[in-house]
Amino acid sequence: MHMKKRFSYSVVLFGLLAIFSCQNNKEDVNPIPDARFLVKNIDVHDVEADKNFATELSYDSRNRLRRMYDNRLNELQIFDYVNDNEIILTDSIGDELIEEVAITLENGQVVASKIKDGNGFKHIYNADNQLISTSLDEDNYSRYEWSDGNVIKTSYSFKPDITELEYTTYPHTINVDARHNANYGFFGAKLKNFISKINYGSTGVVVTFSYDLDQLGRPTTVKEYKDGTLVAEYTYSYLQD
């Protein structure tokens, strides 16, 4: 795999993993998440292709993400918790192993990760325990700018554009976001609100989202629009009602 592609892919994975291991309260770095806010299934309707897909998630006895399966790609991610400070993530498509990654935690935060027989990454946080940088070296990195509990800008060494994000007023209630939000929903400390708009810089592409919420503030349906045209619908179900 090309290094830049591998780097960007891993950034997404470790960003996702952080929400299951990072807490702002250092006195309780491994609390058991509330099952009502753990996503069990995400049904996806691709409007453009008129096709349906699904992502299935399962958890261990401590409500930590154990398994995530995407039937669009036949992709399976498995999280093995060696102890409170070590996690092994394996990612495969069909019978092919794509990556195996060793993750190191300190005080409940992902501080280092290493692809087996490959690259190692450092993860840097600010004083509010929000991830601000993931780096392979000084020339290969991702950076995140925060404001009022949300990531408002992202930048990457392997592309010149800065991506800008805007947010709804809805509190971010769930521990696993829909696929459309995977790149942005897991930055160490959880985002404060759900994303409303993503502006992809000089590409001119603008993606927006609308939400239907239940009585607990959890999304039941999310609609994704690209330049004003509906492109996908996401339907959530949860581990516990």
User: Average pLDDT of 190-217?
Assistant: 90
Confidence of residue 175 (pLDDT cuts 50, 70, 90): low
Cα separation, 197 vs 164, in Å, equals: 8
Structural domain boundaries enclosing 158: 3-238
| CATH assignment of the domain containing 61 | 2.40.160.190
Kindly report the pTM of this predicted structure.
Answer: 0.81
Contact 197, 165 (CB under 8 A): yes
Cα separation, 62 vs 109, in Å, equals: 17
- Give the up-direction half-sphere exposure of residue 191: CA atoms within 13 A in the CB hemisphere: 31
Cα separation, 78 vs 60, in Å, equals: 11
Confidence of residue 177 (pLDDT cuts 50, 70, 90): very low
User: Average pLDDT of 165-171?
Assistant: 92
Cα separation, 3 vs 12, in Å, equals: 14
Residue 180 has pLDDT above 70, yes or no: no
Residue 189 has pLDDT above 70, yes or no: no
Q: What is the pLDDT of residues 24-69, one digit of tens each?
A: 444 455 667 788 988 899 999 999 999 999 989 999 998 888 898 9
Which pLDDT score, from 0 to 100, does residue 130 have?
84
**Side chain identity at residue 114, one-letter code:** K
Q: Residue 50 has what DSSP assignment?
A: T
Q: Which residues pair with 165 in a beta bridge?
A: 198
Total count of domains within the chain: 1
Q: Which residues pair with 193 in a beta bridge?
A: 171
* Mean pLDDT score of the chain: 80
Q: Which of 29, 24, 20 is nearest to 67 (CA)?
A: 20
Q: Residue 38 has what DSSP assignment?
A: S
Residue 160 makes CB contacts below 8 A (sequence gap 6+) with 201, 202
Which pLDDT score, from 0 to 100, does residue 176 have?
52
Q: What is the pLDDT of residues 108-146, one digit of tens each?
A: 777 888 888 777 888 888 888 888 888 888 888 889 899
Contact 144, 135 (CB under 8 A): no
Residue 18 has pLDDT above 50, yes or no: no
